[in-house]
Amino acid sequence: MPQVDEHLIDDDIDTSAWDGVPIRLRAAGLRWTPQRRTLVDVLREHQGHVTATELISRCRERDQTTTPSTVYRTLDVLEEFGLVAHGHGHDGREEYHVLPGETHGHLYCEACGRQWEIRPETGAAIVDALAADLGFEVDLSHVTISGHCQGCHD
Amino acid sequence: MPQVDEHLIDDDIDTSAWDGVPIRLRAAGLRWTPQRRTLVDVLREHQGHVTATELISRCRERDQTTTPSTVYRTLDVLEEFGLVAHGHGHDGREEYHVLPGETHGHLYCEACGRQWEIRPETGAAIVDALAADLGFEVDLSHVTISGHCQGCHD
DNA sequence: TTGGTTGCAAACACTTTGCAGCTGA
DNA sequence: TCAGCTGCAAAGTGTTTGCAACCAA
């Protein structure tokens, strides 16, 4: 298991949030099953955003018996615990934001397909601008803005 | 037909763009059919954004015989003419932007479901902020930000 | 006439649901 | 033991496609 004290630029995410999941589930009268463990293992390495479909196939890589319905149902449970949040990505599929505690938005590059996080300050600027506009209260974690990244529009 | 010289705050859209459609289609060797007329009639009154599903049912109101496949196919054609542009809305369905010439983004209220246009100045602020952030070039017409409108978060 | 179009039906991809049987606590 | 979970299969969305018949130009 890697040390957490590495100097990671944009990675102050509390990965250990997942460690408490078994306990939290049981405390709520729910169960910790192999299938849920598989999904959580996959989620651990997917900070940011993933489509349900991708999660399903990643789970399948680890455990052939993984079933879509189980994944969807488990994601619902994890969402109630605030560990993931779902929205819709640029391609219109269910997309899950992992550990949405840090509410940042995403930028999607239509050319290279990569995604980028909107920095907190920039996100705040957007939130403020829209609040001033129509008194709109933005849910930043649901924001995915598409366009072209620096490398692709030069 | 309403006069165009009314003082409409955010409505300098050239609705007459639709008038040339039959001619443009024919000039391209395509046909002007009753079904296409129905769809264009529906689109005329839908500046902004609509889901494909909504367009289909609106068309059905006017002409019982409208078929989904025809609507989708016609939308493809209209997209090639730059009269609509498709993306994906907050709920993940195909969403069409009508007359995308005026590139503004949208705000979607998760509480009441209404949509609002982001004012040009505000949109420009967002574009600038993201350009400054990562050199990202935003395609504003594809932006739909969700949250709560003033009336719903008070 | 004839090639673009249409409607139908079937195929698709993704997500949800019902239910009998299994299993973690 | 026994609720919660799982897998399967079937149903449900919304979108796409193949094809024979149709019709605008």
Task: Note the CA–C1' distance, A30 to D2, in angstroms.
Answer: 13
pLDDT band at residue B101 using 50, 70 and 90 as cut-offs: low
Question: What does the alpha-carbon distance between residue B66 and residue A74 come to, in Å, rounded to a whole number?
Answer: 40
Q: Read off the pTM.
A: 0.69
Task: Note the CA–C1' distance, B4 to C11, in angstroms.
Answer: 47
Residue A51, CB, less than 7 Å from strand C? yes
> Nearest nt (C1') to A33 (CA)?
C24
| E strand spans, chain B | 48-51, 84-88, 94-98, 106-109, 115-117, 137-138, 144-148
pLDDT band at residue B42 using 50, 70 and 90 as cut-offs: very high
Q: Say which of B94, B129, B149 has its CB closest to residue A125.
A: B129
- pLDDT at position B134 over 80: no
Average pLDDT over residues A131-150: 77
* Chain C nucleotides covered by protein, CB below 7 Å: 3-10, 13-18, 23-25
Q: Collapsing DSSP states into helix, strand and coil, what is residue A29?
A: coil
Question: What does the alpha-carbon distance between residue B25 and residue B97 come to, in Å, rounded to a whole number?
Answer: 20
Tokens of B145: 């930000």
Question: What does the alpha-carbon distance between residue B144 and residue A125 come to, in Å, rounded to a whole number?
Answer: 16
Evaluate the CA torsion angle B89, B90, B92, B93 in order and state its sign. negative
Q: What is the pLDDT of residues A88-100, one digit of tens each?
A: 766 667 788 777 6
Tracing tokens 């060797």 back to the chain, one arrives at B29
> How far does chain A reach from its first CA to its final CA, in angstroms?
40
- pLDDT at position B100 over 70: no
